[in-house]
Chain A
């Protein structure tokens, strides 16, 4: 890669008004330096740290903890809070479908070819939350902080396979029944209806918000009811995960809805 010694060698700026320069050499040489640094970093890494192989596989011995490949550990972490049906089927499917529909629901033309935060606050924040917090952070938790028995260990704690954590999770209806003394909530049918009602109420935010804001909000008007509905549904579903996590951490809530007859618990 030729270095540029003289300003006269620099190709002309294409358009001084838009403040743009040629990719070659201005961008490429910087990219190449980054590439080299990354390459050297990998080289040193591979020399210093051997690939961490585990023991030979033994079909009669299940390793503890049993972990999925690292890139799936975010999903495995969701299993702590949701049933396999939700964590393994519904949520991953919605992630894929949601990513696919983005081009159709995104009506904001700004930000093409340049970085902007001010002009796309909702989109960028939403992505950062969904990807960095709900995907990457959960992977980090799954890889480094989950030890034997899928118990949580701080980085400085030894993975003790005998660690005991009290199991005191409780279903929402029972918790409410304990609090209020309404024993009717202990009835599974009542509980199912009650839970479904709560979930319904959660998603009822979508039309209510439309009703309240659509007249004043330009963005909502540009979206229109269908695109708004889809966007809002995906957003609320995404937010259901942190809500459930917080409910678990604070109130030990196990399930909000129980439909044991179709093996579905939320």
Chain B
């Protein structure tokens, strides 16, 4: 048997192995130090960019400095420096050293004596405690006491001597200091920039990170997060880099977002997604292998790009309807509610949502069956912008059977106002376009989209029904949100006449009517409705206890692609593509073994995108309560504002007033409700919201009417609490009972008079209307005492624009000491108090003005401005002058 390799030399093998090992070692070091540390490249790029920027700024600053001045300082500096090299200065320094030693010696003597003193005190007291003789210690203690006093004096002396010499030296040096200061003042900006430059160049490539223990999720478990994003996105939290490209761009809406979401508490990944710990990008950013942004097969929450970042708001704002900084998310959420998605698919935070479709309990007395069938078959035929989705009817029989059931279960309507007696359509049209119907209903291309367009209303229903409906909507349905505009019987007749002229009654279809009355169809209708889920959006008798027809979507965004059925659809296998496809065509994933009864929402591309963003947020987390942004009182109010479409007419929270598109004159618009909670007294709000018709009009020149919403007591309370809370008013109930003195009356009357603020040039008082006409008129001051809170009034008179942006009311006390100097000694606060007290008593019943002789009477007897007729003595005098 051969002794394999015994004689063979392995030199060449060793050489090869050694070489390969060296190459591998070099590769390893490169990989470890550079290859895997991609953030360092960005740090280097940032240093380069910043160096360039700062150097350019330095060059710019240097141009602004006079070089002659600098040279002059430099010369003087040299001279001063020479003075320091003289013999005199050297002697002084020598002397200073000597004095220093003397001072130190004196100091040491004193300290040692004090130490001895302490020891003696201990020995004395110790002996005393032990009952021994201590008089010797005491004597030595007292002697040392005297010595210390002397030593103290010596020490002070020596110190003074030292300071005297030092002062002399300083005089030599002061010149130099002064020159330094001069130079520093000249180059202050440049120096600061130089310092900044040094900071940038010394920065290196640190890993910067935010560590959050209570955020970061996998399933129901908090893992905590470590967000290292700012290692590459270096200036993201600094203003001024908005125009740079990523990763060096300043965060958008920097202050608005980070004031409420400090990065130390929220991190980055919480909102943006991605893998916060990672720092290596393997190939290119935003491609597979970009670990920090989470583009890796196993990272389930990659970076949310574009509008999708707004979906993260849902984590904490799940209960809120409106987020200013997340408009797409907000739109999606509102669409989800308005289009009735929520009625089939529950999501966390919106469980309270009511049925989005109208109540069908009395439908038989409302619509023509011919219209009804055409409508359910294809709603967009009648209303192109309807929120009713397209039901995927599988055959022609199903809709007929569904309607047969619904009509059969219909209850009789109480025709409270009888038959429609006819009216004047032209007048009705004018009314329709003035009293406010158009805020919600569109006719002839004008009007809001909250309610249905009424261009073909006569195809749908009868004049009798419209006539009854508009006079008392609650008589039709307790749940319906349609308000009453307090039309008189005549007005109702005219409006009805106008509406019945829109469209024409459909021809009667005897065959259809027979089919609808067929008991077989009625019976089959139950199953049809059950299958298609009509009852989810509409109240239908027999389905009171039926459960949601479809699945909850609360964790929908967590669905893995493998959990979504793509059927035969040829689309990218992603969550986004699937969801988008489902909204585009709900039946697109149906194959031979599956079926879908989801109706197709009538939404455009933009709306679908918004819904997608909202759905992408359906991955709620159980966060610590400090992160949950939710005030139930505010949100309940906002829901009512949305439900009753208040924002069609009013500006609320800075948004709304669609009607401004059609009412061109700003003074004819319904009021802006900014600071309403602070403005109005609870009692008045309550009464007014319950029925505005109970009150005289504060703005009598407005044609558009505040409707009577027939709100429940609970709704009233919710609305009032919302406005109060939103404007940070504490407590709902206040007693407003201000008194006014005669002096205040006369002062107020002078202030409000033509020579000063000239209030009556715009404000109506009682039945006295200013000459300027309706475009200048302002609210009737007679009702201030009943409506307005004095705290608000005080601020309002000071500077109204603070409270209601864009108001026509001028501010009379925008700054301190801006009131007239000749009233109440020119004291602003007293003037304001006088005005508030006066206005808060003006027009109040049962007198008021205590201790006052020339008091204005109540508006009951004398509704016009009191001051005009019975001026107080001071004002009278003023007027004569």
Contacts and interface: CB of A to CB of B under 8 A. Distances in A.
A59 B220 contact: yes
A3 B14 contact: yes
B17 A33 contact: yes
Given A33-B13, A47-B27, A40 B21 contact: yes
Contact of A4 (B9, B21, B300): B9
A204 to B, nearest CB: 47
B219 A58 contact: yes
Contacts of B10: 3, 29, 33
A57 B217 CA distance: 10
Interface in B531-564: 562
Smallest CB-CB A-B distances: 5 pairs: A58-B219, A55-B298, A161-B562, A56-B218, A60-B219
A187 B11 CA distance: 77
A3 B299 CA distance: 52
Interface string B1-44: 10101110111011001001100100110010000000000000
Nearest to A47: B31
Given A3-B14, A5-B9, A61-B219, A19 B27 contact: no
B410 to A, nearest CB: 46
Given A54-B298, A60-B219, A44 B6 contact: no
A167 interface: no
A154 interface: no
A216 interface: no
Nearest to A13: B3
B221 interface: yes
A10 B7 contact: yes
Contacts of B28: 43, 47
B684 interface: no
B219 A3 contact: no
A123 interface: no
Interface string A13-57: 100000101000010011001001100100110010000011111
Contacts of B9: 3-5
B5 A26 contact: yes
Contacts of B24: 40, 43-44
Contacts of A4: 9
Given A26-B6, A54-B298, A59 B1 contact: no
A60 B221 CA distance: 9
A211 interface: no
B299 A55 contact: yes
Given A13-B3, A64-B562, 9 more contacts: A19-B3, A29-B10, A40-B17, A40-B21, A43-B28, A55-B218, A58-B221, A59-B219, A60-B219
30 contacts: A1-B14, A3-B9, A3-B10, A3-B11, A3-B14, A4-B9, A5-B11, A7-B7, A13-B3, A19-B3, A21-B6, A26-B3, A26-B5, A29-B10, A33-B17, A36-B17, A36-B21, A37-B17, A40-B21, A55-B218, A55-B300, A56-B218, A56-B223, A56-B300, A58-B221, A59-B219, A59-B220, A59-B221, A60-B219, A162-B562
Interface in A51-77: 53-61, 64
A60 B562 contact: no
A53 B277 CA distance: 14
Nearest to B35: A47
A180 B223 CA distance: 62
Nearest to A53: B298
Contact of B220 (A26, A43, A60): A60
The dominant DSSP class at the A interface is: loop
A26 B3 CA distance: 9
Contacts of A54: 298
* Interface residue tally on A, bucketed by range: 20 to 34
A198 B208 CA distance: 70
Nearest to A46: B28
A61 B9 CA distance: 60
Contacts of A3: 9-11, 14
B218 A57 contact: yes
Contacts of B299: 55
Contacts of A56: 218, 223, 300
Interface in B292-347: 298-300
Contacts of A40: 17, 20-21, 24
Contacts of A21: 3, 6
B778 to A, nearest CB: 61
A10 B9 CA distance: 11
Nearest to B14: A3
Contacts of B11: 3, 5
Interface in B389-424: none
Contacts of B13: 33
Nearest to B10: A3
Nearest to B299: A55
B565 to A, nearest CB: 8
B5 A30 contact: yes
Contacts of B1: 19
Contacts of A161: 562
A13 B17 CA distance: 28
Contacts of A36: 17, 21
A121 to B, nearest CB: 22
Contacts of A53: 298
Contacts of A26: 3, 5-6
A108 B31 CA distance: 54
B6 to A, nearest CB: 6
Interface string B162-196: 00000000000000000000000000000000000
A148 B299 CA distance: 19
Contacts of B20: 40
A59 B218 CA distance: 8
Contacts of A19: 1, 3
Nearest to B21: A40
A19 to B, nearest CB: 5
A133 B407 CA distance: 74
B401 to A, nearest CB: 36
Nearest to B30: A47
A60 B555 CA distance: 12
Interface in B748-779: none
Interface string A102-128: 000000000000000000000000000
Nearest to A60: B219
B6 A58 contact: no
B780 to A, nearest CB: 63
A60 B220 CA distance: 7
Nearest to B562: A161
A13 B3 CA distance: 10
A44 B21 CA distance: 10
Nearest to B20: A40
Nearest to A55: B298
A93 to B, nearest CB: 36
A21 to B, nearest CB: 6
Nearest to A5: B9
A43 B27 CA distance: 10
A44 B24 CA distance: 8
A47 B267 CA distance: 32
Contact of B6 (A10, A33, A57, A60): A10
A47 B30 CA distance: 10
Interface in B215-243: 218-221, 223
Contacts of B17: 33, 36-37, 40
A11 to B, nearest CB: 10
A48 to B, nearest CB: 10
A68 B374 CA distance: 60
